[in-house]
Amino acid sequence: MDSKEFKKFCKDEFAKRGFRKVKTCYYCQGNGVLCGLYLQHSDFGPEYYVNFYFFIGDFTGKEYPSRYDYDFYGRIAFMSKTSTINGGKTFLGGLIEYNYYTEDELRLYIDKGFEEKISPVLEHGKEEIVLLLKQDKCHANILREEETLNKLKD
């Protein structure tokens, strides 16, 4: 799979879950939470990260925020296909070496990321973010951490 095929695969996977592309991000409004997905290209080779962002609030009919204005963020995890630089075994991380995967292999990780992290938040709202924070599966925006964490209390 090359970069173009990978981006099309992600676009299709995101669209079937209700996300639509606006500029460089894919967005879906949930229960009091907007989710943004962004494909971050690695500077180190033919690799991407699938970043997710949660914005507290209802953005229906409003301009979507940029990914830099997120309240909480995380990454979908993928099992590496190559060994580490020190000859170690493969590992679970955020980096996707897309040219080593088939669509079916990638779909397993995308499905799991949605099942465990994204869909529960869109369906049930910000109380699910609290659970993700406790499990270290997402993080508050460190530039305005106190403000962001206070949004979970309302």
- Please enumerate in sequence order all residues whose Cβ is within 8 A of that of 18, keeping only pairs 6 or more positions apart, or say none: 28
> HSE of 146 in the Cβ direction (CA atoms, 13 Å)?
0
Q: Which domain holds residue 140?
A: 3-150
Q: Which amino acid is at 71?
A: D
Structure confidence at residue 86 as a pLDDT band (50, 70, 90) = low
Among the listed ranges 8-12, 44-48, 71-75, 83-87, which one has the minimum average pLDDT value?
83-87
Cα–Cα distance measured from residue 20 to residue 89, given in angstroms and rounded to the nearest whole number: 37
Question: What is the mean predicted confidence (pLDDT) over 44-66?
Answer: 94
pLDDT digits (tens, 9 = 90+) for 29-40: 999 999 999 999
Structure token digits, residue 103: 């669509």
State the pLDDT at residue 80: 82
Total number of domains constituting the chain:
1
Cα–Cα distance measured from residue 26 to residue 53, given in angstroms and rounded to the nearest whole number: 10
- Please enumerate in sequence order all residues whose Cβ is within 8 A of that of 27, keeping only pairs 6 or more positions apart, or say none: 19, 20, 21, 34, 35, 36, 37, 59, 64
Cα–Cα distance measured from residue 51 to residue 20, given in angstroms and rounded to the nearest whole number: 15
Residue spans of alpha helices (H) in the chain: 3-15, 103-113, 119-124, 126-134, 145-150
Phi, psi of 47 (to 5 degrees): -145, 150
State the pLDDT at residue 89: 64
Structure token digits, residue 130: 């609290």
Structure confidence at residue 98 as a pLDDT band (50, 70, 90) = very high
| Residues listed for the chain | 154
Q: Which of 82, 98, 103 is nearest to 39 (CA)?
A: 98
In terms of DSSP bridges, do strands 33-41 and 25-29 run parallel, antiparallel, or are they unpaired?
antiparallel
Structure confidence at residue 82 as a pLDDT band (50, 70, 90) = confident
